Amino acid sequence: EVLVDYNDIVTRAQPLAHLDPTDYDGQRRRALAAVEAQAAARDVAATAVLDTQAAMVRIKRLPAGEMVSDRDVELATTALARARANLALAEAQLKASQADLAAAESNYAKTSIVSPIDGVVLDVSAQVGQTVSAATLATSLFILASDLRRLDLELDIDEADIPRVKAGDQASFTVESAPDRLLTGAVRQVRSAPTILDGVTSYKAIIEVDNTAGALRPGMTATADIQIDKASNALTVSNTALRFSPKGMPPRQDGGQQIYILHDGSLQSVPLT
């Protein structure tokens, strides 16, 4: 049986699918019968111990005038020792049968594939009639997401920029499904392991994203900006102004940047620091 479908909400320990339990149920029943048989054998051995103990007591409490030979005492002692050994063997065999039963019960319980988490079903690869084997299973039967209301955005940060990124930095990003909608989050983690692709080294920064509205889905592509510093009441200049250079106006002698402002109908150069 396959009990869930795409996008189903599941809870921890909820069955997702059932394997055919016939073979495992048979093993469980045989193991249970073996435990019952060994328990009976243990009881028989315990009764034998009681009988031999009683015989030993009777020998030791013979009335005055009655005699018992050393041979009788030796036989009674040996019989008691043998009975106790048989009881110990029966108890050991019972424990072994109980262990076999526990293993059979465990295998039988695993015929129900249950959800390990509270979450939502993202992918279902299981089909009725499919053979399931740990050795041959190439893909997961189910893919679950724990909580789509909280997502992680994985960003690839260039190695030149990664030293300036730290946990707590604010980030804003867009996704291709809604390019005009600006979403926000905060850096939760900056990973040290590098990713090298075509000779370019980058590092991953993990952004915590609130997805309560449900606008985002796993696997979406995002483009993000991380705010690494902030200046209040600062005068800003557009990049376009920095690239503007009117004809006839000399560049700065020290090679620094400058902009031009219109004053009384004429352009004036203003150096930037």
Q: How far apart are CA 77 and CA 104, in angstroms?
A: 41
The per-residue pLDDT for 96 is 96
The per-residue pLDDT for 74 is 86
Quick one: 202 exposed, middle or buried, by C-beta within 10 A (0-12, 13-18, 19+)? middle
Provide the residue-wise pLDDT of the chain in tens; the chain has 273 residues: 999 999 999 999 999 999 999 999 999 999 999 999 999 999 999 999 999 998 888 887 776 556 677 787 888 889 999 999 999 999 999 999 999 999 999 999 999 999 999 999 999 999 999 888 877 677 889 999 888 888 999 999 999 999 999 999 999 999 998 899 999 999 999 999 999 999 999 999 999 999 988 889 889 999 999 998 888 998 888 888 888 888 877 777 777 888 999 999 888 888 888
The per-residue pLDDT for 194 is 95
Contacts with 56 (C-beta within 8 Å, 6 or more apart), sequence order: 76, 77, 80
169 in helix, strand or coil? coil
The per-residue pLDDT for 65 is 52
Residue in 194, 189, 155 with CA at minimum distance from that of residue 172: 155
The per-residue pLDDT for 63 is 60
